[in-house]
Structure 1
């Protein structure tokens, strides 16, 4: 991640931008169209396409993206490493990147055009998804995302409507799987930070069935433990690092040591009244607002009972104590089990490890809770945040003071919101520029001045 990256190898990432694009055919004069609300001062225009066929829209936008990136050095994982010398179809180590070697535009069946977006024969709006290649998480990679988002944001009429569209960010380890010692620490941090991260997103996204909370509704939150899983043979998954690195202690003893360490840290932190100054960012919340929703539990709890013999109380449901669940994640020794513990039975969670459940396809961790946007500063900020969370967890051992303190702060904040919030989390990760961008988004105050300050911010 540029100069922030302390690992021998940069992480990788990709973005999926869901949006609606305005289009017109050659026979339509752009200035004859009724300007939709919010586009009166837009610098862009509808995308001109050969006809009203959806395939023509995909082709036209693909062509514009290729033109925008012409001469711009690619940060794609595949091209940066191999320059096309590998048979991507047949090479087991690289075949999963076959369709993620360049920017693509495709349809998305979940993006039916809402009534408020008029469409006709010669002009209209259609929903689609713009997907990046797998990019190295370097300054060059983030600059490539910025360049495409500026095309979409500044030159084409696009919109993101309410709960219809999302921004999905994938974080990976190049073409490989994350090592297990990194993957389980990432899972534990995302699980603990989930209520804080949720506060950075549009409230509508917290009710969205496409990105339910990992803290509220995942199997490990319902009380499922490693012992409850029907484990497939390790040989089916080509698992490495099967045992917990550096430890031969029984699982129960390790879990108890983790719980005891958290309890001591919590007691020490809770007794301190000093909080760091964070001028320019909003006051910390005083009340807890992130709680399980009864309607979300209707399908999830029966599934836990049916699949794992776990029977949470549906009338007085409380997620498992955070330190219990975090300890379980930190002692998980293969990726299938990690995927199962973090899975939500109703679908992919806000921070999803569902790719860990199979060998084929992507090898990434997917961040799904952000609302759809093509604002360059917001997209790059959210991509950097996702990468930094994974990088921080990968670099810190379970025993490291900084990693354990961050987990402890997240746990204390669950019951004492005034102690630590999303902005504190970003400051702890050395991400003040990103905190200021997300603050502007939440305050509905994203301006060119905010964007320029963000692009000019020094990177450590």
Structure 2
């Protein structure tokens, strides 16, 4: 019995052990399954993370690709805009050339009923010649309904095809700091004198020049500092452009020509009376010339000129004085190209005809000035020289064609002279503006230059200038630009009110024969080949009045546009009007000319300045009795 009990206990223990082992196996199996599940979840999480990362990477790649595609599209669009603009400009130039060729053809084969040259305008009937009427002006309106100024500021509609640059001349009085003792310097005559500090020893060792050269360097640097304060690009003393704006539009592709430049001009000097007024010998006068970059003739460019000139008049780092001999020169060109021979003839002819009228706008100090001689009074054409008598600069023979352009009589109906327009109300009577006349001294000087340049020609100093129409017809016989320049001025002298001398170099003769062109190519490198082909308008007086500077730029640009783009009958009519005005000053004057080239507001502004600021404005000095209704100004 005892053995049975022991066996049962043993069996029971074995059963417990077996159950325990079974539970352990089950737990181990469960743990293994849990581990497998965890590993599976980890793998799934890892796979999900990798998928998410891959998705993010794909999104980033797609975003980068979209950005690159957008940049590429923008680049292509920009290139397309540039190409389209270039094509449009080229098309416009081709169209303008085609029209000019048509005009030139119509001039060479005259369409006038009577192509015979008029050598004299008969002043029989004051209504015999009709000045060309300006086109009707349209004005935009703002929200208040008031008329606004034209956005172009009376610039010609085709002025963007022209480029311009200005030169302003000044005198700057300075005195050394050690000499400012208050006794010898007249503080009343020269307030705010420019004080020159003592010359540093370093400057003496570096430059090894005299005191006067140091003063000029000091003044020029002060001038540059003033320009830099205005935020414009300036050519520094090392011939480098500083403060450059790469986004600005310039005529030249060379950045070396994008800045305002400062130089010397020995022609600027005071009169003896001024030197006598400033009694101190310790005052040194420094002459400067400020030269702008070349700009396209647009309202934005005029705004830049206004900003610089107006800024100079407000910022007083230096005291400026515009001497009587100081001038304002405006260069007008065709950008990177040049005027062709037909355009040049028309521009030279209009400047020759309108010059006496435009001189009425300038003060008497600019009349008969040796640095702005009248083309109408002192040129070869004025003295009666003909193309048959003229000898080429190179000494070669020239063939004058029989079928040359001629300026016939006006074909339009005779009408009354222009009445005052709503935009121009006259206060200065016609005939009241000063007229420029010949000075015997300059006549004798010009006659001296003829003997070695021309044959069979002996003018008399007492002779009156040849008629305007006759002289222009003689100019138009010129077979090339050198001959034209020799007629409308003197190709050896650039000091004319309308200076065409840059077209007198031998590399300006592309339309000549092969022998002349070969000789010209050899001289281009030594005769300023990089110099722009421009026509220089030199007669205006120097000024720091921004309105006056802008007005004169507009006048010369519009005059150039009228010369190049007007129809042959319009051009002929305007020349005959100028010729009649010379014979009858009380019939037509400079203000009428400005109205006729669509600049009535400019005419009004200049007239107002003449009447309101006679002592400081750069316009004409009015003689007594010239004003009609001064109380209405």
Shorter-chain TM-score range:
0.7 to 0.9
Q: Are the equivalent residues in 2 in contact too, given 1:76–1:102 (CA < 8 A)?
A: no
SS at match of 2:388: helix
Q: CA separation of 1:144/1:208 partners in 2, compared to 1, >3 Å: closer, same or farther?
A: same
- RMSD after superposition: 3.6
Select 1:165's aligned residue among 315, 322, 326.
Answer: 326
Change (3 A) 1:63 1:326: same
Contact 1:214 1:351 in 2 (8 A): yes
Is 1:282 the counterpart of 2:428 in the alignment?
Answer: yes
Do structure 1's residue 430 and structure 2's residue 598 form an aligned pair? Answer: yes
1:131 and 2:283 matched: no
With over 3 angstroms needed to count, the CA separation of the structure-2 counterparts of 1:446 and 1:324, relative to structure 1, is same
Secondary structure of the equivalent of 1:15? strand
Unaligned runs of at least 5 residues, structure 2: 1-150, 199-213, 233-242, 508-527, 617-633
1:21 lines up with 2:21 in the alignment: no
SS of the residue corresponding to residue 151 of structure 1 reads helix
- Is 1:387–2:557 an aligned residue pair? yes
The alignment status of 1:69 with 2:231, answered yes or no, reads yes
Cα distance in 2 for partners of 1:290, 1:301 equals 19
Answer whether contact 2:168 2:329 (CA < 8 A) is retained. yes
Among residues 165, 190, 197, which one is paired with 2:351 in the alignment?
190
SS in 1 for 2:449: helix
Question: Per the alignment, in what secondary structure is the counterpart of residue 230 of structure 2?
Answer: helix
Task: Decide which moves more: 364-373 or 289-298.
Answer: 289-298
DSSP 3-state at the match of 1:258: coil
Alpha-carbon spacing, 1:191–1:315, altered in 2? closer, same or farther (3 Å): closer
User: Matched residue of 1:53: which SS?
Assistant: helix
* Residue of structure 2 equivalent to 1:101: 258
**Matches of 1:320 and 1:74 in 2, distance apart?**
47
2:611 to 431, 443, 452: 443
Cα distance in 2 for partners of 1:56, 1:108 equals 16
Indicate if the aligned counterparts of 1:200 and 1:442 stay in contact, CA closer than 8 A: no
Deviation at 1:119, TM superposition (A): 7.1
User: SS of the residue aligned with 2:361?
Assistant: coil
Kept after mapping to 2: 8 A contact 1:165/1:371: yes
Distance 1:353 1:205 in 2: 19
Equivalence for 2:503? 356
Write the distance in 2 (CA, Å) between the matches of 1:316 and 1:447: 35
* Residues 50 and 56 in structure 1, CA contact (< 8 A), matched pair in contact too: no
| 1:294 aligned residue (440, 449, 456) | 440
State the alpha-carbon separation in 2 of the partners of residues 414 and 375 from structure 1.
30
Q: Measured at CA, do residues 274 and 353 of structure 1 come closer, stay the same or move farther in structure 2, by a change above 3 Å?
A: closer
Query: Where does 1:55-454 land on structure 2 (aligned, <5 Å)?
Result: 55-70=217-232, 74-78=248-252, 82=253, 84=255, 100-112=257-269, 115=275, 116-117=277-278, 125-156=285-316, 157-162=319-324, 164-231=325-392, 251-255=401-405, 258-259=407-408, 261-262=409-410, 269=414, 272-277=415-420, 278-285=424-431, 289-314=435-460, 316-344=462-490, 347-358=494-505, 359=507, 360=528, 361-397=531-567, 399=568, 401-443=569-611, 445=613
CA offsets 1:18-47 (integer angstroms, 9 cap, x no match): 112355788999x9996554x87xxxx666
Structure 1 unmatched runs, 5+:
85-97, 236-242, 244-249, 449-460
Which string of whole-angstrom CA distances, capped at 9 and with x for unpartnered residues, describes residues 82-111 of structure 1? 374xxxxxxxxxxxxx5x431011222223
Shift, 1:13, TM fit:
0.8
- State the secondary structure of the residue aligned to 1:391: helix
Rounded to whole Å, the distance in 2 between the matches of 1:76 and 1:193 is 30
The CA distance in 1 between the partners of 2:173 and 2:159, in whole Å, is: 44
Deviations 1:186-245 (A, max 9, x none): 110000001101111011211211111101111111222333333468x9xxxxxxx9xx
Give the superposition deviation at 1:286.
6.9
Match of 2:124 in 1: none
Cα 1:49–1:106 change in 2 (3 A) is: farther
SS of 1:366's equivalent in the other structure is strand
Instruction: Specify whether residues 273 and 396 from structure 1 end up closer, same or farther in structure 2 by C-alpha distance, changes over 3 A only.
Output: closer
Give the 3 Å change call, closer, same or farther, for CA 27–61 of structure 1 in structure 2: farther
Q: Deviations over 1:294-327 (max 9, x none)?
A: 2221121242244212535425311112111111
Between the two proteins, the alignment pairs up a number of residues equal to 402
Secondary structure of the residue that 1:143 maps to in structure 2?
helix
Cα distance in structure 1, aligned partners of 2:162 and 2:574:
21
Corresponding position of 1:451: none
